[in-house]
């Protein structure tokens, strides 16, 4: 079962890169195209910072943080609890981290494309979704274990 999460992570990484490439090639930079009217649009945005372009232009900082994060996440995946929720959470976090790191190395920015239309939220990509769901799953696993042990 452990390998299944790794295969899914690899597939999500490939899908992330393919979607970023398609958006970069098919949608002009800064253009917004309605996907689900009033809910979700597609755009082509270059983000050289974090969410809401925080720390924009600090690529060296992002390289260092990403390498440290990957080392820690991989170490935890290999050495720590192998409960299914931990495994999935860490695998998704590694996938998302790698997806955006590939962009930063290759392009010097991250390609974002999903825009929520009904409230102000940062434009995001599949790697960001992997990171978010990975953190949520890991949080649930930690809370679950605390309740069982406590």
Distance CA 150, CA 144 (A): 10
Catalytically active residues, by annotation: 112, 128
CA dihedral 11, 12, 13, 14 (to 10 degrees): 50
Give percent of the chain above pLDDT 70: 91
Of residues 85, 96, 87, the one with CA closest to residue 143: 85
Residues 94-146 have pLDDT tens digits of: 999 999 999 999 999 999 999 999 998 889 999 999 999 999 999 999 898 87
pLDDT confidence of residue 42: 96
pLDDT tens, position by position, 1-49: 678 999 999 999 999 999 999 999 999 999 999 999 999 999 999 988 7
């Amino acid at each position: 079962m452990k390998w299944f999460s790794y295969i899914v992570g690899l597939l999500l990484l490939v899908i992330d890169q393919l979607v970023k490439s398609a958006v970069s090639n098919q949608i002009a930079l800064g253009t917004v195209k309605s996907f689900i009217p009033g809910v979700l649009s597609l755009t082509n945005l270059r983000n050289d910072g974090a969410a809401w372009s925080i720390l924009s232009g600090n690529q060296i900082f992002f390289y260092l943080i990403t390498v440290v994060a990957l080392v820690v996440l991989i170490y935890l995946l290999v050495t720590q609890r192998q409960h299914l929720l931990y495994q999935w959470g860490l695998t998704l976090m590694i996938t998302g981290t790698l997806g955006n790191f590939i962009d930063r190395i290759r392009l010097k920015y991250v390609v974002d494309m999903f825009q929520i239309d009904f409230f102000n939220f940062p434009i995001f990509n599949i790697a960001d979704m992997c990171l978010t769901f990975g953190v949520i799953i890991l949080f649930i696993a930690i809370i679950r274990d605390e309740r069982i042990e406590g």
